[in-house]
Structure 1
């Protein structure tokens, strides 16, 4: 593990991943592998699919909007000001059943999730605004499964179109 040094990030890289805008505020490389900090914006109808991380814990703090969250046997609505922890090895799923985008801060420990996002997602230009949630194509799901497996993430149920 590399010892982290002072960081000041002005223009973080941003990706579109499963329809979610993911802005990497602090990468694994910048934190010496200790964690990754990402701002995520999930549009209405967005679904992260049911998945499980083998190598990292996931924490989220909701800033705006709401998400329907399932972690193991627990389901709840995550509202602004609320936070969750999904420990490694526990399946979880995030869906935006609302009518407004859900904006949150995502922290994964240790770091490395940013590298998966950069390989499985699509780079967005600064200031680009993604459109409404669209279910991934079979080709995109195939690519996601391949990349996710390299990072110890198993997709148990891919994203689905929401009613």
Structure 2
């Protein structure tokens, strides 16, 4: 594992249950074992379907774009640049990108997510 890499050298993937999403893992779980960090891009209209994580805490930081976030039974809330979204384990949540530009986010999981059916994507990550 290289300690310094450019974003364009990292593989992109689409997670299961997400449409219009292109993620790049910036920090792999093998780096320290206690977290992983992802740069996510969701095209307008794309969605992370309603789901929960069994034991992982998730933090989302909105870099650019707009989304509606639903946490549990609460009504959806519009989130834009600078918003920090904290999602504890077992809380059902949905992220729906909206507006005219892609939603760009940083996502942290602690502990890292277990293996799942990510789909490798072609082309540059960055």
TM-score by length of 2: 0.84
Instruction: List runs of 5+ in structure 2 lacking aligned partners.
Output: none
Residues 5-154 of structure 1 aligned to structure 2 (within 5 Å):
7-10=3-6, 11-17=9-15, 18=18, 19-30=20-31, 32-74=32-74, 75-112=76-113, 115-116=115-116, 120-127=117-124
In our comparison, the structure showing a higher alpha carbon Rg is: 1
Structure 1 outlier segments of 4+, above 6 Å: none
Q: Which runs of 5+ in 1 are unaligned?
A: 1-5, 130-163
Q: Which has the higher contact order (CA 8 A, sep 6+)?
A: 2
Aligned residues: 120
What is the root-mean-square deviation of aligned Cα atoms in Å?
Answer: 2.1
User: Which has more helix, going by share of residues?
Assistant: 1
Between structures 1 and 2, the one with greater strand share: 2
TM-score of the pair, normalised by structure 1: 0.66
